[in-house]
Structure 1
Amino acid sequence: MAIRILFLGPLGDLAARGEREVAGPLDWDGLLESVGPQVAAQLRDDRVHVACAGKVLADKTALLAQDGEEVALLPPVSGG
Structure 2
Amino acid sequence: MTTSFRDLERVCKALGLKGIPKTNGVLWKGYVKDKFVKIMIHKHNGGKDVPTGTFNSYVKELGFSTVQEYNDYLNSI
Asked if these proteins are the same fold (TM beyond 0.5), I'd say: no
Asked which structure has the greater RCO (Cα within 8 Å, sep 6+), the reply is: 1
- TM-score, length basis structure 2: 0.31
- TM-score, length basis structure 1: 0.30
